[in-house]
Amino acid sequence: MSATHRPWRSVLYIPGSKERALEKARGLDVDAIIFDLEDAVAPGEKANARETLAAALRVGGYGSRAQLVRMNGMDTPWGGEDLETVMDAGPQAILLPKVGAATDVASIAARLDAHPGCAETRIWAMMETTRGVFNAAEIAQAPRMGGFIIGTNDLAAELGCETGGDRMPLMMALQTCLAAARMGGIPCVDGVFNAFKDEDGLRAECEQGRALGMDGKTLIHPAQVAICNEVFSPSQAQVDTARRQIEAFEAAEAQGQGVAVLDGKIVENLHVATARKVLARAGGAS
Ligand SMILES: CC(C)(COP(=O)(O)OP(=O)(O)OC[C@H]1O[C@@H](n2cnc3c(N)ncnc32)[C@H](O)[C@@H]1OP(=O)(O)O)[C@@H](O)C(=O)NCCC(=O)NCCSC(=O)C[C@H](O)C(=O)O
Ligand SMILES: [Mg+2]
Q: Which of 175, 167, 246, 241 is nearest to 213 (CA)?
A: 175
- The domain segmentation of the chain, as residue ranges, is 3-232, 236-282
Rounded to whole angstroms, the Cα distance separating 133 from 188 reads 13
Binding residues for substrate: 70, 128
Is the beta carbon of 191 within 6 A of some atom in ligand 1?
yes
- Asked if the model's pLDDT at residue 278 lies above 70, the reply is yes
Binding residues: 70, 128, 154
Is the beta carbon of 39 within 6 A of some atom in ligand 1?
yes
Is the beta carbon of 128 within 6 A of some atom in ligand 1?
yes
Tally of helices (H runs) and strands (E runs) in the chain: 12, 10
**267 phi, psi to nearest 5 deg:** -125, 115
- Which helix or strand (DSSP H or E) is residue 270 part of? helix 269-282
Asked whether 67 and 22 are in contact (CB, 8 A), the reply is no
* CA 98 to ligand 2 centroid distance, Å: 7
Is the beta carbon of 220 within 6 A of some atom in ligand 1?
yes
Q: Kindly list the distances between the CA atom of residue 120 and the CA atoms of 5, 74, 143, 144, 220, in Å, as whole numbers in the listed order.
A: 17, 21, 12, 9, 27
Neighbours of 149 (CB within 10 A): 29
Summarize pLDDT for 46-85 with one digit per residue, the tens.
Answer: 999 999 999 999 999 999 999 999 999 999 999 999 999 9
DSSP letters spanning 78-119: SHHHHHHHHHHT--SEEEETT--SHHHHHHHHHHHHT-GGGT
Sign for the pseudo-dihedral over CA of 204, 210, 214, 217: positive
**What is residue 117's predicted lDDT score, i.e. its pLDDT?**
94
Is the beta carbon of 91 within 6 A of some atom in ligand 1?
no
Summarize pLDDT for 118-144 with one digit per residue, the tens.
Answer: 999 999 999 999 999 999 999 999 999
Binding residues for Mg(2+): 128, 154
Which atom of ligand 1 is nearest to 97's Cα?
53
Three-state DSSP class for residue 284: coil
Is the beta carbon of 15 within 6 A of some atom in ligand 1?
yes
Domain boundaries 3-232, CATH class = alpha beta
The pLDDT-based confidence of 286 (bands split at 50, 70, 90) is: very low
Is the beta carbon of 14 within 6 A of some atom in ligand 1?
yes
**What is residue 167's predicted lDDT score, i.e. its pLDDT?**
97
Is the beta carbon of 20 within 6 A of some atom in ligand 1?
yes
* CA 286 to ligand 1 centroid distance, Å: 19
**193 phi, psi to nearest 5 deg:** -110, 110
- Which helix or strand (DSSP H or E) is residue 36 part of? strand 32-36
Q: Give me the half-sphere count of Cα atoms (radius 13 Å) on the Cβ side of residue 235.
A: 3
Summarize pLDDT for 144-168 with one digit per residue, the tens.
Answer: 999 999 999 999 999 999 988 899 9
With the most atoms of ligand 1 within 8 angstroms of its CB, the residue from 218, 221, 228 to mutate is 221
Instruction: Name the pTM for this structure.
Output: 0.93
Among the bound ligands, the one closest to the CA of 218: 1
* CA 20 to ligand 1 centroid distance, Å: 10
Q: Which residues surround ligand 2, an ion (CB under 5 A)?
A: 128, 151, 154
